[in-house]
Amino acid sequence: MKHNFGAGPCILPQEVFQEASKAVLDFNNTGLSILEISHRSKEFEEVVKETESLVRELLHVPENYSVLFLQGGASQQFAMVPMNLLPDGGKAAYLDTGVWATKAAKEAKNFGEVVTVASSKDSNYTYIPKDFEIPLDAAYFHFTSNNTIYGTEVFATPSTTVPKVVDMSSDILSREINIQEYDLIYAGAQKNMGPAGVTLVIIKNDLLGKTGKTIPSIFNYQEHIKAGSMYNTPPVYSIYVSMLNLRWLKAKGGVKAIEQENIIKARTLYDEIERNPFFKGTAAVEDRSRMNVTFVMDTPELEAEFLALAKERNLIGIKGHRSVGGFRASIYNALTITSINALVDAMKEFEESHK
Annotated binding site for L-glutamate: 40
- Nearer to ligand PLP by Cβ, of 148 and 333: the residue is 148
The answer to whether residue 144 forms part of the interface with ligand PLP (CB under 6 A) is: yes
The answer to whether residue 169 forms part of the interface with ligand PLP (CB under 6 A) is: yes
The answer to whether residue 278 forms part of the interface with ligand PLP (CB under 6 A) is: no
Q: Is 88 among the residues known to form the active site?
A: no
From the list 96, 164, 171, 191, the catalytic residue is: 191
Q: Which of residues 6-35 bind ligand PLP (CB under 6 A)?
A: 8
Q: Which of residues 57-86 bind ligand PLP (CB under 6 A)?
A: 73-75
In angstroms, give the least distance from the CB of 188 to ligand PLP.
3
In angstroms, give the least distance from the CB of 172 to ligand PLP.
10
Query: What b-and-e string marks burial along 99-120, b requiring 16 or more CB atoms within 10 Å of the CB?
Result: bbbbebbebbeebbebbebbbb
The answer to whether residue 333 forms part of the interface with ligand PLP (CB under 6 A) is: no
Mark the binding-site residues for pyridoxal 5'-phosphate, compressed into ranges: 74-75, 100, 148, 167, 190, 232-233
Contact with ligand PLP (CB under 6 A): which of 27, 65, 94, 100?
Answer: 100
- Measured in whole angstroms, the distance separating CA 159 from the mean position of its chain's CA atoms is 22
- Nearest residue by C-beta to ligand PLP? 73
Do β-strands 315-316 and 3-4 pair in parallel, antiparallel, or remain unpaired? parallel
- Cα–Cα distance for residue pair 155/276, rounded to 1 Å: 26
Q: Is 191 among the residues known to form the active site?
A: yes
User: Environment class of residue 300 by beta-carbon count within 10 Å: exposed (0-12), middle (13-18) or buried (19+)?
Assistant: exposed
Mark the binding-site residues, compressed into ranges: 40, 74-75, 100, 148, 167, 190, 232-233
In angstroms, give the least distance from the CB of 269 to ligand PLP.
19
The closest alpha carbon to 94, from 55, 50, 138, 56, belongs to: 138
Contact with ligand PLP (CB under 6 A): which of 96, 107, 153, 167?
Answer: 167
Which residue stretch of 32-40, 162-170, 232-240, 324-332 sits at the interface with ligand PLP (rule: CB under 6 A)? 162-170
- Nearer to ligand PLP by Cβ, of 147 and 339: the residue is 147
- Cα–Cα distance for residue pair 325/328, rounded to 1 Å: 8
Q: Is 248 among the residues known to form the active site?
A: no
The closest alpha carbon to 231, from 216, 210, 209, belongs to: 216
How many residues contact ligand PLP, by CB under 6 A? 12
- Cα–Cα distance for residue pair 267/260, rounded to 1 Å: 11
Query: Which of 177-183's residues contact partners 24+ apart within 8 Å by CB, and which partners?
Result: 177/59, 178/60, 179/59, 179/60, 179/61, 179/62, 179/65, 180/62, 181/157, 182/157, 183/140, 183/207
In angstroms, give the least distance from the CB of 73 to ligand PLP.
3
**Dihedral sign for Cα atoms in the order 286, 255, 141, 74:** positive
Q: Is the CB of residue 5 less than 8 Å from the CB of residue 148?
A: no
In angstroms, give the least distance from the CB of 193 to ligand PLP.
11
Do β-strands 91-96 and 113-119 pair in parallel, antiparallel, or remain unpaired? parallel
Q: Is the CB of residue 190 less than 8 Å from the CB of residue 9?
A: yes
In angstroms, give the least distance from the CB of 99 to ligand PLP.
8
Q: Which residues bind ligand PLP (CB under 6 A)?
A: 8, 73-75, 100, 144, 148, 167, 169-170, 188, 191
Catalytic residues: 100, 167, 191
